[in-house]
Amino acid sequence: MFRPAAWQAFIAVAEEPITLQEALAGKDGPAWKAGWEGELDSLQKNGTWVVENAPLDRNIVGCRWLFEQKEDGRFKVRLVAKGYSQEPGIDFQETFAPVANFTTLCILLALVAENNWKLHSMDVETAFLNGVLEEEIFMECPEGIMEEYQGKKVCRLVKAIYGLRQSPRVWYQNVYSFFLEHQFFRSTQDYSLYINYERKLLVLVYVDDLVLAAASLPDIVWIKTMLAKAFEMPDLGELSTFLGLEISRNRGQRLLTVHQGKYMEKILCRHGMQDARPSLTLLNTGTRLLPSKDSDTGSQGLKTVSLQLYQSAVGALMYAMLGTRPDIAYAVGIVSQFNHTPVWEHWMAVKQIFCYLAGTQGLCLRYGATNSSRGYLDADWGSGNDRTSVGGYVFLLNGESVSWSSKKQTSIALSTTEAEYMSMTQAANDIVWLRGLLEELGATGHIRKMSQLHGDNQGALALRRNPEYHACTKHMDIQFHFVRELVGDEKIYLEYCPSSDMIADVMTKPLPHTAHKKLTAAMGMMDRTGKSYRTLREGAC
C-alpha cells in the first residue's frame, strides 16, 4: 500500500477550517472574521437575496462558507451554494459557460513578448454576484446570520452566487454584454478572447480573472477604468501570476518566462513526494502499463491503491502538463487511463513522474522574438494495450511550444503509415484553429509558418499529397482524407523531418534520457534556475 507519509500528506492538505464556528475559534479567528464580514458586506451591497417564508412545495438549496488562505497571505471567505442539491428544469436550465483555452493564453504571451506589449491583469471581486438570475431559487439561511430564521425563513436568490449550476453562465453573459457595449469583437476561435481593433487591445477572460494586453499603457488604463466602473474589480498591475502560472519578463531582451514552480512544490508536498529523490527519467524505455482485471485485484503484484489519492495525483499532473510542461504529456496520458481501477504498478509510474518533476522543477517556457514557427507530428504504431496507436503533435511559435497533444487514437491502424496518417489529421484540426486565431489577433506573418507540418513517415506524406485510390488505403475512414483538401488549398504545407529530429516523438513513447532531454530542449523548454541536473541518478526514483 502507500507509505504512511504519502497518505498523511494527502489528507492533511486542507488545513483551512470547515465551519464558520471552527474558523472563528481558531488561531486565525480575527483574520477569518474580517474575511467573512467582507464577504457578507459584498452580498448585502449586491442585494443577493430577499428573506421570505419557506415555501412548502419548493426545493431548498443548501449552502456553506468556504475558507481559503491565498498564496499572498489573504484570508478568503466565500459563501457557496450546494449546487448538487438543485433540481434540473426547475432551479436551472442551461449551465455551459466558456473559459479561456490554455493554447490561446500561450499564443497571447508569445505575441506579447515578440511585440513588447504591455501585459496587466485584473480580478473581479465576487464576480458571480453581478449576474441576475432568471430562475426562482430558494436557499437556506447561511450559518452565522439570521440564525433565528433557521428552518422558518429562506433566502430567495436575486443574484447568482458561487456554487449554483448556472452561475458561470450568468456571469459570462454579463461579461459578454459589457465588452459588446465597448466595441470589442469576440473571437470566433475562443469565446473568452475579446479584441478591440481600434485600440489594439486584447482581453482574455477566465471566469473572474482577466489578462489585458495592449501596445500602449493608455489603452490599458482605459479598459481598467471601464471595468472598475461596471464591476468591483481591483487593479493587480502587471501580470505576474495567472491560474497558478508564474510569469516574469525581461522587457529589454523581449523575453517572457512562464513556469509553475510553486505549483510543483505544492503537488509534491500534497502527495508526500516532497522528499523524493530527483530523477532524470520520466518513464523507463519500454514501459508498458497493463489494466487490472477485477478478478486479479489484490493478488500478488496487483495490490490495490487508494482511488482518491491516485486520481488526485493524476489530476495534479495533468494540470501541470496543460500549463507549462508538454514534456510529460505522454506519461500523464498513460497513467490517466487507469483512473478507475489503479493498482500498485500504476501508482509506481505516477511516483516516477513526480520524481522527474522534482528533478526538473526549473524547466519553463521562455517566449522571445526568435523566428522559428512550425508544427511536428508523430505516432507510435500499435503501442496501446488494445493495439491502438498513440499520436502526438507540437506547434512552436517563435521557437516555443504553444500547443501540444498526446492522445490514444480512436481506431486501430493496420500500418505505421496509417497511424501517422491519422495523427496528421489530429494535427490538421489544430492548424485550422490556429490559423483562425492568429488571423483574428492580427499575427498574419505567422500563419504561413504555423501551417508547416513536419512528419517523419514518407508513406503518410505521400498519401496526403497524392489522392490515389489504393487497396491499402480504401478502408480508411473518410474523415482522415480531409487534409488532402487543406493541402490543395495551401492551408497546410507538409514537410519531411528525419526521425532523429522529430520533436513530437516525445509525445508518443518513453525515450532514453539523452533523447528526451534533446527533444524537450527542441520544444523550447529551458532551465530558468541555472541548476545542473547532471549529478542526479537516472531512475533514482
* Residue 240 to residue 258: CA distance in whole angstroms: 9
Cβ–Cβ < 8 Å for 122, 237: no
Q: Is the per-residue pLDDT at 1 higher than 50?
A: no
Confidence at residue 462, expressed as pLDDT on a 0 to 100 scale = 74
How crowded is the C-beta side of 179, counted as CA atoms within 13 Å?
Answer: 23
How crowded is the C-beta side of 122, counted as CA atoms within 13 Å?
Answer: 23
Q: Is the per-residue pLDDT at 409 higher than 80?
A: yes
Confidence at residue 295, expressed as pLDDT on a 0 to 100 scale = 35
Give the domains, in start order, of the chain with CATH numbers. Answer: 4-243 (no CATH), 259-361 (no CATH), 364-509 (3.30.420.10)
Confidence at residue 298, expressed as pLDDT on a 0 to 100 scale = 46
Q: How confident is the model at residue 479 (pLDDT cuts 50, 70, 90)?
A: low
- AA identity, residue 90: I
Q: Is the per-residue pLDDT at 297 higher than 50?
A: no
List the grid coordinates of 192. 473568452
Q: Is the dihedral of CA 222, 228, 234, 239 positive or negative?
A: negative
Q: How confident is the model at residue 263 (pLDDT cuts 50, 70, 90)?
A: very high
CA distances from 153 to 79, 140, 142 (A): 18, 8, 11
The winner for highest mean pLDDT among 19-28, 42-51, 99-108, 478-487 is: 99-108
Largest CA distance in the chain: 80
Q: What is the arithmetic mean of pLDDT over 443-463?
A: 86
List the grid coordinates of 489. 488549398
Model pLDDT for residues 415-443, shown as the tens digit of each residue: 777 888 888 888 999 999 999 999 999 99
Cβ–Cβ < 8 Å for 539, 277: no
- Residue 498, number of CB atoms within 10 A of its CB: 8
The larger pLDDT score, comparing residue 364 to residue 11, is at 364
- AA identity, residue 186: R
3-state secondary structure of 527: strand
Burial track 247-257 (b if 16+ CB lie within 10 A, e otherwise): bebeeeebebb
* Residue 168 to residue 96: CA distance in whole angstroms: 7
Q: Is the dihedral of CA 328, 330, 335, 339 positive or negative?
A: positive
* Phi, psi (rounded to 5 degrees) for 157: -75, 130
Cβ–Cβ < 8 Å for 464, 474: no
* Phi, psi (rounded to 5 degrees) for 202: -120, 140
Residue percentage of the chain with pLDDT more than 90: 43
Q: How confident is the model at residue 202 (pLDDT cuts 50, 70, 90)?
A: very high
Confidence at residue 28, expressed as pLDDT on a 0 to 100 scale = 85
Confidence at residue 46, expressed as pLDDT on a 0 to 100 scale = 82
Q: What is the arithmetic mean of pLDDT over 351-366?
A: 92
Model pLDDT for residues 203-229, shown as the tens digit of each residue: 999 988 999 999 999 999 999 999 999
Confidence at residue 75, expressed as pLDDT on a 0 to 100 scale = 85
Helix, strand, coil distribution of the chain in percent, nearest 5: 40, 25, 40
- AA identity, residue 68: E
Q: Is the dihedral of CA 277, 281, 283, 286 positive or negative?
A: negative
The larger pLDDT score, comparing residue 94 to residue 411, is at 94
Q: Is the per-residue pLDDT at 149 higher than 80?
A: no
Model pLDDT for residues 38-83, shown as the tens digit of each residue: 888 888 888 889 888 888 888 999 999 999 887 667 788 889 999 9
Q: Average pLDDT, whole number, for the chain?
A: 85
Rg (CA), the chain: 26
Q: What is the arithmetic mean of pLDDT over 480-505?
A: 86
Q: What is the arithmetic mean of pLDDT over 242-270?
A: 91
- AA identity, residue 450: M
Confidence at residue 537, expressed as pLDDT on a 0 to 100 scale = 34
Confidence at residue 143, expressed as pLDDT on a 0 to 100 scale = 84
List the grid coordinates of 451. 501551417
Confidence at residue 152, expressed as pLDDT on a 0 to 100 scale = 72
DSSP line for 363-432:
EEEEE------EEEEEEETT-STTS--EEEEEEEETTEEEEEEEEE-SS--SSHHHHHHHHHHHHHHHHH
The larger pLDDT score, comparing residue 488 to residue 407, is at 407
Model pLDDT for residues 165-201, shown as the tens digit of each residue: 999 999 999 999 999 999 999 999 999 999 999 999 9
The larger pLDDT score, comparing residue 148 to residue 501, is at 501
Model pLDDT for residues 510-526, shown as the tens digit of each residue: 999 899 999 999 998 88
Residue 348 contacts by C-beta under 8 Å, 6 or more apart in sequence?
Answer: none
Confidence at residue 4, expressed as pLDDT on a 0 to 100 scale = 47
What pairs with residue 120 in β-bridges?
212, 238
